[in-house]
Amino acid sequence: MFIKNLGIIAGVAASLGASAALAGNVAPAPAPAPIIAPALVDWSGPFVGAQFGGGFADTDFRYRGATPNAADHDSDGLFGGIYGGYDFQSGANVFGVDLAYNFADITGSTECPNPTFTCSSELEDFGAIRGRYGRAFNDILIYGAAGYAFGDAKADAARAGAAPVFLDNSASVDGWTAALGVQKMLQSGWALRGEVAYYDLASSTGAIVADSGDPARSAWT
């Protein structure tokens, strides 16, 4: 017991002695630099941007006196445009408004109730005025948006090799929209965003109606 205890004490003393000798010949190590947390991204302020993408639509085609929805069809195509708005941030909560306008070429067609004609439609442009709410995770913003939607569309009934039946066939349409999206803030101050949006441009608020002076056109509603 005595020898073991002595051995332990000697070992500790040797260690202390070695530490004292080293301390006399070597400058003390510098204190580690303090760890600085990265600055949080501030999402508040104005923004502008450009966007592009693809769209899919379910087009409702109505003929007076024909089987309901006899010429309904699917449409698809591309769009591109600009947007801008303003965000306000409170903690991790981000509130904002934005306005967007897009040129579009979203088209589709099918047989008319008279199968010798083809019924077609095109969404020429569309946009929205929306409110936004999101949650910020530093440089990532996940958000939802909803608001008023508007656009211009046209429809035609035509036979192969002949002029369209309805020459004055464009109208303004409007309705509502809702969307989910995510944004990534880049170090340069620019941001990338991706979004999936639903637009309901209802015919009840913007029906495409042909000129009533021509009997052939009056069949269209």
The pLDDT score that the predictor gives to residue 33 is 59
Going by C-alpha positions, the residue among 79, 59, 82 that lies closest to residue 70 is 59
The pLDDT score that the predictor gives to residue 67 is 64
Q: Could you list the mean pLDDT of each consecutive 10-residue stretch along the chain, which spans 221 residues? A: 28 31 46 58 94 90 66 91 96 96 93 83 94 96 97 83 65 91 91 94 53 38 34
What span, in angstroms and rounded, lies between the C-alpha atoms of 53 and 77?
Answer: 9
- Inter-CA distances, 27 with 22, 23, 36, 65, 209, Å: 9, 7, 26, 99, 90
Claim: this prediction has a pTM higher than 0.85: no
3-state secondary structure of 23: helix
The pLDDT score that the predictor gives to residue 19 is 29
Going by C-alpha positions, the residue among 143, 134, 205, 133 that lies closest to residue 171 is 205
Give alpha helix (H) positions in the chain: 2-25
The pLDDT score that the predictor gives to residue 118 is 85
The pLDDT score that the predictor gives to residue 134 is 97
Q: Give the residue carrying structure tokens 């579009």.
A: 104
The pLDDT score that the predictor gives to residue 119 is 84
Give the number of other CB atoms < 10 A from CB of residue 61: 23
Question: Please, what are the domains in the chain?
Answer: 45-219 (2.40.160)
